[in-house]
């Protein structure tokens, strides 16, 4: 395809700062952040969660225009079929199969061609309606990244975002409001052991996917590096993943960012935050995560922590 759509995919696990990264990248002129768009069929079109603009999904002018551009009207979509494919393709136990998809995309067409073709049309419509040069997708799940890689219209680039698993466990354990559902709703919570297992699994799968396709443009960024030097790190991301936009003014100077309103699907409620924000490290886990839980996380995630440069001892 002559003019494939550049999609910068933020991959990794939950509670790693992917919402912040998506907002930073999407606030750069020429980019558009769409959040966790893999949830559009359920949380968007079925459950009508709020868009990042604050409107219910079915009232958001951006997504209304995208859906009309892609499908004429949402009634033309078989949502049951799309959700069924999503469940089957993105379940944890089926995720090792994504290595086959990324090597042989034609394997998806037999059973899930409708899902793949619908996604392809969706990304094309996002590019047309937004007019952006780069789409930032913060869906995180590496198996979904593999699906997007197979799309004929997409030129995928991947930012593999990693955060210390002890900080991730602390974040999962603590309640966080979810205003995009309803007043008083909260985001899902996960125990320290499960959090550590998922951290190892999804980051390991990310590593295997990029190794399976050396032609895939991908870099790894640590959350801790990002929040310590946000401007330098963000410029490095553009230089490596979006060279056609290198040298442009970006949304952060020093440790201060100016975030634009974004039409993001699902994600951390901070995606609705706009205006000037100061980027600072979140180190609450160092005093807030019980020693027994820290030890459990290190026992499970220790080898991969060392691979990514994290020491086992709390610094």
| Residue 87 near residue 144 (C-beta atoms within 8 A) | no
For the record, the structure tokens of 9 come out as: 């995919």
Tell me whether residue 124 is in a domain. Answer: yes
> Does 14 reside within a domain?
yes
First-to-last alpha carbon distance for the chain, in angstroms, is 49
313: in domain: no
Sign of CA dihedral 41, 42, 46, 52: negative
Let me know: does 51 contact 40? Beta carbons within 8 Å: no
Backbone angles phi, psi at 176, to 5 degrees: -140, 130
CATH value at residue 117: 3.40.50
Q: Where are the beta strands (DSSP E) in the chain?
A: 5-11, 31-35, 134-140, 154-162, 217-222, 252-253, 256-259, 275-278
Q: Which of 182, 195, 184, 134 is nearest to 159 (CA)?
A: 134
Residues 6+ apart with CB under 8 A from 98: 142, 143, 146, 147, 205, 209
Q: Residue-wise pLDDT tens for the chain (315 aa)?
A: 458 999 999 999 999 999 999 999 999 999 999 999 999 999 999 999 999 999 999 999 999 999 999 999 777 899 999 999 999 999 888 888 888 888 888 889 989 999 999 999 999 999 999 999 999 999 999 999 999 999 999 999 999 999 999 999 999 998 776 767 666 566 788 999 999 999 999 999 999 988 888 889 999 999 999 999 999 999 999 999 999 887 888 999 999 999 999 999 988 888 999 999 999 999 999 999 999 999 999 999 999 999 999 997 755
Contact between 51 and 264 (Cβ < 8 Å): yes
Residue 297: both structure tokens together:
């996380």
Pairing of strands 5-11, 154-162: parallel
CA atoms within 13 A on the CB side of 229: 8
Q: What is the tens place of the pLDDT at every residue in 141-181? A: 999 999 999 999 999 999 999 999 999 999 999 877 676 76
Is 315 part of any domain?
A: no
Residues 229-255 have pLDDT tens digits of: 999 999 999 999 999 887 888 999 999
Helix (H) or strand (E) holding 63: helix 61-71
Cβ proximity of 246 and 238 under 8 Å: yes
Q: What is the span of the domain harbouring residue 215?
A: 5-307
Q: Count the domains in the chain.
A: 1
Which residues in 7-21 are b (16+ Cβ under 10 Å) and which e?
bbbbbbbbbbbbbbb
Distance between CA atoms of residues 234 and 230, nearest Å: 6
């Amino acid at each position: 395809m002559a003019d494939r759509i550049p999609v910068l995919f933020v991959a990794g696990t939950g509670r790693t700062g992917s919402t912040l990264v998506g907002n930073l990248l999407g606030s750069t002129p020429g980019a558009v952040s769409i959040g966790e768009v893999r949830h559009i069929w359920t949380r968007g079109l079925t459950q009508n969660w709020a868009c990042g603009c604050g409107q219910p999904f079915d009232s958001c002018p951006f997504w209304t225009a995208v859906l009309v551009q892609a499908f004429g009207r949402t009634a033309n979509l078989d949502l049951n079929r799309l959700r069924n494919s999503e469940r089957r393709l993105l379940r944890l136990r089926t995720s090792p199969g994504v290595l086959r998809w990324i090597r042989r995309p034609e394997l998806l067409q037999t059973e899930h061609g409708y899902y793949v073709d619908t996604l392809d049309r969706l990304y094309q419509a996002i590019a047309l309606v937004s007019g952006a040069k780069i789409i930032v997708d913060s869906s995180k799940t590496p198996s979904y990244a593999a699906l997007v890689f197979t799309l004929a219209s997409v030129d995928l680039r991947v930012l593999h975002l990693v955060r210390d698993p002890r900080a991730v466990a602390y974040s999962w354990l603590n309640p966080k409001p979810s205003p995009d559902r309803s007043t008083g709703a909260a985001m899902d919570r996960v125990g320290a052991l499960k959090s550590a297992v998922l951290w190892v699994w999804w980051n390991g799968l990310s590593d295997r996917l990029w190794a399976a396709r050396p032609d895939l443009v991908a870099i790894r960024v640590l959350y801790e590096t990002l929040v310590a030097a946000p401007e330098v790190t963000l410029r490095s991301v553009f230089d490596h993943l979006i060279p056609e936009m290198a040298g442009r003014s970006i949304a952060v100077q020093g440790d201060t960012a100016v975030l634009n309103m974004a039409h993001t699907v699902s994600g951390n409620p901070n995606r609705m935050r706009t205006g000037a924000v100061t980027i600072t490290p979140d180190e609450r886990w160092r005093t807030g995560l019980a020693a027994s839980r820290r030890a459990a996380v290190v026992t499970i995630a220790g080898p991969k922590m060392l691979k990514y440069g994290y020491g086992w001892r709390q610094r």
